[in-house]
Structure 1
Amino acid sequence: MAYLTGKTKGGKDWTPNFVESIDPEKCIGCGRCFKACSRKVLGPEDFYDEETDTERMVMTIVNDDNCIGCMGCIVTCPKKCFTVAPLEV
């Protein structure tokens, strides 16, 4: 299996990991990932929690094609609610 790879400024191999999903059960809607993403991949959305019968804001993937695999969103997430994977080529 081959993955999309690149080089760092120092010439080391680097494999970007792209956002695949966000677990709405774990997401607290803090917006840290939203602020960290300069590509506007993420956006807020209302989520209805059936267990607590409440509605709250969570982050969702709104512009999947804009993701460059930098993982800035993942690094800032305090709840580790992201699933990421390299891109197969």
Structure 2
Amino acid sequence: MDVITGITRGGTAWTPSFVTNLNAKTCIGCGRCYKVCTRDVLELIDRSEDDIDEDDEDDSESIASVMSLSNPMDCTGCGACSRVCPKSCFKHSPMAVGA
């Protein structure tokens, strides 16, 4: 399978790795990924009851919001979101040419 490959300004080959998944269970809603994404791929949403651990239900400081993939098809594959995420919530993979 041939994957999408780009060339940096300096002439080095580069394979973008596009966001494919975001683990809402580990997301702390810090917003760091949202701030570095230039393509509006992410959106902060209210955490659903299913995402809250049973141990956290009585905790007054439980996290109320999580990040969500709102427009993953706009991802450019830069990987900035993963580099700033303190909980390693993101999964990325290269994309096949023509996919």
- Normalising to structure 1: TM-score of the pair? 0.92
Q: Give the match for residue 79 of structure 1.
A: 87
Matched residue count: 89
> Where does 1:42-61 land on structure 2 (aligned, <5 Å)?
42-47=42-47, 48=49, 49-51=52-54, 52-53=56-57, 56-61=64-69
Query: What are the residue-to-residue correspondences of 1:30-69 with 2, within 5 Å?
Result: 30-47=30-47, 48=49, 49-51=52-54, 52-53=56-57, 56-69=64-77
Structure showing the higher strand proportion among its residues? 1
Q: Given residue 80 of structure 1, which amino acid in structure 2 is its aligned partner?
A: S
SS in 2 for 1:3: coil
**What's the CA shift for 1:23?**
0.5
Whether the 8 Å contact between 1:22 and 1:83 is mirrored in structure 2 is yes
Spell out structure 1 runs of 4+ moving beyond 3 A: none
Secondary structure at 1:43 match in 2: strand
Structure 1 unaligned segments of length 5 or more: list them.
none
In the other structure, the counterpart of 2:3 is 3
Structure with greater proportional helix content: 2
- Per the alignment, in what secondary structure is the counterpart of residue 25 of structure 1? coil
| Percent pairwise identity | 44
Gapped regions of structure 2 (runs ≥ 5): none
1:21 is matched with: 21
What amino acid maps onto 1:17 in structure 2? S
Contact 1:46 1:55 in 2 (8 A): no
Q: What is the RMSD computed on CA atoms of the aligned residues?
A: 1.3
Deviation at 1:45, TM superposition (A): 1.1
21 and 5 in structure 1: CA distance in 2 versus 1, 3 angstrom threshold:
same
CA distance in 2, matches of 1:55, 1:67: 26
Task: Tell me the TM-score normalized by structure 2.
Answer: 0.83
